[in-house]
Each structure stands twice: as structure tokens, then as C-alpha cells.
A = this chain, B = another copy of it.
Amino acid sequence: LLILQRRLILCGPDDSREISMMQARTPPQRSALGLDVRFAVSAMTSESPRSSLTGFRQWWEQRRRAHTFKVTRIPLADLQGWGFAPETGSLGHDSGRFFTVEGLRLQGDDTGTWLQPIIDQPEIGVLGILAKEFDGILHFLLQAKMEPGNLNTLQLSPTVQATRSNYQRVHRGGAVRHLEHFLGPARGTVLVDALQSEQGSWFWQKRNRNMVVEATGPIAESADFRWLTLGQILGLMRSDNLVNMDARSVLGCMTLAAPPRRDETADAFEQALVRSYDADAPTAHTTAEILSWFTEMRARCGWRARLAPLREVTGWSRTPDAIADHGRDRFDIVAVRVRAGNREVQEWTQPLLEPLSRGRAAFLTRSFAGVLHMLVQARAEPGLPGIVAMAPTVQNPAPADIPDALADGEDPFADYLHGVPASRVRFDTVLSEEGGRFLRAETRYQIVDAGPDLPPLARDTFRWLTMHQLMMLLRHESYLNIEARSLVACAHSLWSPSGKP
């Protein structure tokens, strides 16, 4: 609703400079269809003249063979260009750029203080997917990109993943390819543009700019990039560890129109899912009620977080190989050496955060009045801007070894999820988190249609939202956390033809 495109009508005082500036910012009318319909049509398209899935598989196999990529664990002392600051003990790069590993001090509301290491990367980067219409269908340019933390080397990534350091060329490598389409005077038509947070237990207030931009001219071909329909990308979300976190984050920010109603042969879940995209479908709560609930959750949270020198982090130990959380099983900070063929720099060393267990992120779903709703949890993570965000129904590991900021007692739905019959599990794929900062960080993403045996909502930290409501919130900053955004993208795959298992 919010971005209902209105035709620009200008009159009033004459100011040609300003009017021409406005006109320059008005999207060209590429199509009579609304943007949400164009996204949905692309999501319905699993084969196009420009792009076939067979062609994709061949290309992907080639890319995997073409890239030599070796990641080796090294002692922290072997990091080159990185060091521990004498005064604070924090781990950073000599240039002062990229990121640092700092301490986080979290104070609860009368419940004590907790400390942990955390990655501090204050600059806002760009996660950008370039779009272009071929044969009337929007295609999206994805990249076969290696990241040192990926357990399978290559993953399918946005057209551009650029930190400020990247695009200011701090590491003296090549420029970031295609970045000019997203920033600066020659950029294309902006279709999606929102700041969004990332992992709130591992990053300190990290936000990236999630963009989809429609190219205004021809795009040069290159071996590591490939145009895909949204339907194809959603289908590939079903493969373990293929579509990377940054791509999922951007896909999760798109607003899709309601797909066509299913015929009677479709099952009730799919019928309800499709209706969930409809702006006019009935909802369990009005959006005003959801916003008021979320305001209350943020106001209730008494957590207070701030950065601290890493040397003040007690309960963690520094061995030659890691800053380790001994006795608990959250994560270590380790170091790697990377040798790669297609990165901007041929060889480098860097720290990575290595989680010590696989994560889980699951939405439970349910129909009200024939409309599918996702069960969203208000959840505190110490590093999030705003601290509280809308999260999956179940999200593990817990943000830290500390009491829940918003509710007492056991998580009522984790156990339910363990016992749920396979027929109710609609999406179940292991996907990787940011391979540029995390080493082999995997999360099992699930969408599970809850049965009548669902435990009652004993806490007020949960709310049922439709897909349309989630997409409207995703136009704004910091409502949905990164795991919830990934699940929104996963949900799109449940009605996209190539996404069906």
C-alpha cells in the first residue's frame, strides 16, 4: 500500500532545477504492471528464453571447477595486517577498516551483566541485486561468489556485496563489479531499498543497505554472473547451502503481489498461503495492533548493550588458535588464510567467527479464515539496533547464555517442532550465514504448518502475521531480523512452481 505508485503531477511555482531533479528520480514506465506484480510474475516463471535451469546447472558446475579456493585455519598470531590493540585488546586491521572484534557488555534489567566478543563493522554496505526485463519478465543477476567461511566454497550471491571498504578500495584490489548501477549518478531505477540488520548475537548494530535496482542499459556479460528469474532463484532456495545469506536478505525485502488463486486440487495450505499475500485478506490482527504490540515489546526490554574493550570480556580465553568460549558452546573467534582466484585480492588472512552448533530458524504457520499466518516472535538480541526484532517462532541458539529479556519460562514451541510429523514440514533446508564473517555457520530453516495440537500462546511475545503484513513491515528498517527475512524468502518458494519439492 505504502508505495502505491502515483503519477508525478507538477505545477505551482516554477523551479526548473528542482523539477528536473524530481523527474530524474521518477522511475521510467517500463511496464504498465505494478512492481509487486512484476516480482510475482517473475516468481511464477521457472523457465525463460533467457535462462534455463539446465543452463544454470552447467554454468554452476563450470564455476565450481574454475575456482581454486583454499581456506586454512591458522594461529591468531599468523594474521597479517591484523593485530590486538595494546590498550583495549580488541582485534582489528592495521588500516582501521573492515571490522574489529570487540567486547560487548550487556546489562539486564536488574538481572546482571554479561560479556562476550562481538564483530563491530560500523560501515553500512550495499547488498544489491541487479534486475532487468527479458521477454517481459524480470530477471535478476546473481553471482557465483566464494566466501572464506562457506563450507562448500561457492554460493549464489547478490550482484554486489560491497562494504564501504570494498568500494573505497581499501585493500587495493579491483573495483567492485556492477557497483555503479547501485550508487552514483548513473545508477538504475531503484525497486527495493531498505536498511536491515544482521545477526544480533554476532554483530554489533550491523546494518546493510538491501537494494534491487533495474538496469537502465545493457549489462556486460561475465563468467561469474548469471541472469535468473525469481522463480528459478526461489527453486534453488531448496538446495542446501546454495543461496547465500545476503541474497536471501535482499529477496526477503521484495514485495510480491498475491499469486493467482489455486484450483481445487491444491491443498489447503497452499490455498491459504496464496491468500496470505493479498492486501485485502482478513488478518488475525490489524497492522496497528501489530505495531502497538511491537512497541510494547521494545519498551518492555530492559537490556542495555554497549561496546567494551575485548580484554574486559571475562569467561573467555585466548589460546594460540582462538578466542574461545570455554565451557559453553556458542562460538570461537578464529583465523584463516585464504587463497582464491576470483577475489579482488589474491591471498589474505582474516579472523572469522565460528559458531559451535548448527542454528535453527522456523516459522510455525496456521490458517485463520483461510489465510495463512506466520507465528512471529518478539526477540531480543544484544547487537541489534533497537535490540528487539521480529524473529522466527523458534530460533536457536539463544542470543546468549542469559535470561530471556521479554518472557519467563521455557520456549513453548521448540519441543513442538521436534515432534511434528514430516507431512507438516513444508520447507526444510540447511542454509549458510555470511561466509565473509562466519566460518561454516549453518542454519536449518523450516516452515511448519502447525496442527490442532499446537500449544497455546502462553506468552504475549508471539503474534500471527500474514505474508502481506510481513512484506509491508520489510519496507522499513529493523522490524524483521535476518533469520525472519530469510524465512520470508523461503515462504515465497512454497508457491513458486520451481520451488515445489
> Which A residues form the contact surface with B (CB < 8 A)?
1-15, 17-18, 21-22, 25-26, 122-124, 126, 164, 190, 193-195, 209, 282-289, 291-292, 295-296, 298-299, 302, 304, 306-307, 366-370, 385-386, 450-452, 454, 456-457, 460, 472, 475-478
Contacts and interface: CB of A to CB of B under 8 A. Distances in A.
30 contacts: A1-B1, A3-B288, A4-B287, A5-B286, A8-B284, A9-B369, A11-B370, A12-B369, A13-B451, A13-B454, A18-B456, A21-B460, A22-B284, A25-B285, A25-B289, A122-B304, A124-B298, A126-B299, A190-B288, A190-B289, A193-B292, A193-B295, A193-B296, A194-B295, A195-B295, A209-B295, A209-B296, A295-B477, A385-B386, A477-B478
A496 to B, nearest CB: 24
- Those 7 A-B pairs whose CB atoms lie nearest each other, nearest first: A3-B288, A193-B292, A9-B282, A9-B369, A124-B299, A17-B456, A1-B1
B6 A452 contact: no
A292 B190 contact: yes
Contact of A2 (B12, B288, B450): B288
The interface residues of chain A, by DSSP majority, are classed as: loop
A2 B122 CA distance: 32
A382 to B, nearest CB: 13
Contacts of A475: 288, 291
B2 A195 contact: no
B299 A472 contact: no
A369 B11 contact: yes
A14 B452 contact: yes
Given A18-B456, A194-B291, A296-B193, A472 B25 contact: no
Contacts of A386: 385, 477
How many monomers of this protein are in the complex? 2
A93 B1 CA distance: 47
Nearest to A456: B17
A18 to B, nearest CB: 5
A124 to B, nearest CB: 4
Contacts of A476: 291, 476
A12 B366 contact: yes
Contacts of A10: 284, 368-369
A77 to B, nearest CB: 29
B456 A286 contact: no
A77 B125 CA distance: 47
Contacts of A283: 6
Nearest to A13: B452
B21 A457 contact: yes
Given A12-B367, A295-B195, A298-B124, A282 B6 contact: yes
Contacts of A4: 286-287
B3 A285 contact: no
Contacts of A456: 15, 17-18
Residue of A3, A22, A284, A366 most packed against chain B (CB within 10 A): A284
Residue of A14, A307, A477 most packed against chain B (CB within 10 A): A477
Given A22-B284, A370-B12, A472 B295 contact: no
Contact of A15 (B295, B296, B454): B454
A288 B5 contact: yes
Given A123-B302, A298-B477, 18 more contacts: A2-B472, A3-B287, A3-B288, A5-B286, A9-B282, A11-B369, A13-B367, A13-B454, A17-B457, A21-B457, A22-B284, A25-B285, A25-B289, A193-B292, A195-B295, A288-B475, A291-B476, A386-B477
Residue of A193, A285, A454 most packed against chain B (CB within 10 A): A193
B285 A22 contact: yes
Contacts of A195: 295, 298-299
Residue of A298, A457, A476 most packed against chain B (CB within 10 A): A476
A379 B454 CA distance: 48
B457 A18 contact: yes
